[in-house]
């Protein structure tokens, strides 16, 4: 029992020392930014009229891929990101690169995880770049 009485104050002392050490180390870190920027810039769209989506559904009723068509040629070289949603919750997503040459205006995105087709209420897609 006496050994337990000595361990507790020792443990509290070690903990307090470590907390003080962390505070001392944190106090020596710089807290000012060397540069900070802000501003506005126009962001142009490579496709103004939207996309068309075609789901690939396997024998169990899950969506394994989505083919996106009607992608404008100006989007060639970009990255297509796709999200399948149920309300505001993402239930599947995928990404594919659009070729910069020989782009046909369509791309197939493999979806992971593969959601049930009945659970998908919305499809969102965006092209980043080129």
Residue-wise pLDDT for 5-35, tens only, equals 556 666 666 565 555 546 555 555 566 656 6
Record the pTM. Answer: 0.65
Show the tokens assigned to 67. 């083919």
At 23 the pLDDT is 56
Pairing mode, if any, of strands 107-110 and 122-128? unpaired
Q: What pLDDT score does 125 carry? A: 92
Q: In this predicted structure, what is the pLDDT of residue 30?
A: 62
Instruction: Check residue 48 and give its pLDDT.
Output: 85
Place of tokens 């540069």: 35
For residues 84 and 43, give the distance between their C-alpha atoms in angstroms, rounded to a whole number: 24
How far is 71 from 98, CA to CA, in rounded Å?
10
Please report the pLDDT score of residue 25 as a whole number. 54
Give 2-66 as a DSSP string.
HHHHHHHHHHHHHHHHHHHHHHHHHHTS--S-S-----------S-SS--EEEEEE-TTSBEEEE
**pLDDT given for residue 46 in this prediction:** 86
For the chain, list residues with pLDDT below 70. Answer: 1-37, 42-43
pLDDT at 70: 93
Q: Which two tokens stand for residue 40?
A: 């506005």
Given this model, what pLDDT does residue 79 score? 94
């Amino acid at each position: 029992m006496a050994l337990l009485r000595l361990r507790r104050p020792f443990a509290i002392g070690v903990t307090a020392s470590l907390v003080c050490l962390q505070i001392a180390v944190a106090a020596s870190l710089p807290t000012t930014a060397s540069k900070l920027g802000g501003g506005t810039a126009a962001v142009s769209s490579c496709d103004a009229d939207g996309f068309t989506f075609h789901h690939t559904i396997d024998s169990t009723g899950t969506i394994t891929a989505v083919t996106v068509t009607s992608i404008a040629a100006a989007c060639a070289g970009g990255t297509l990101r796709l999200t399948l949603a149920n309300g505001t919750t993402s239930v599947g997503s995928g990404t594919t690169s659009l070729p910069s040459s020989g782009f046909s205006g369509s791309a197939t995105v493999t979806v992971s995880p593969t959601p049930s087709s009945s659970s998908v209420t919305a499809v969102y897609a965006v092209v980043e770049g080129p």
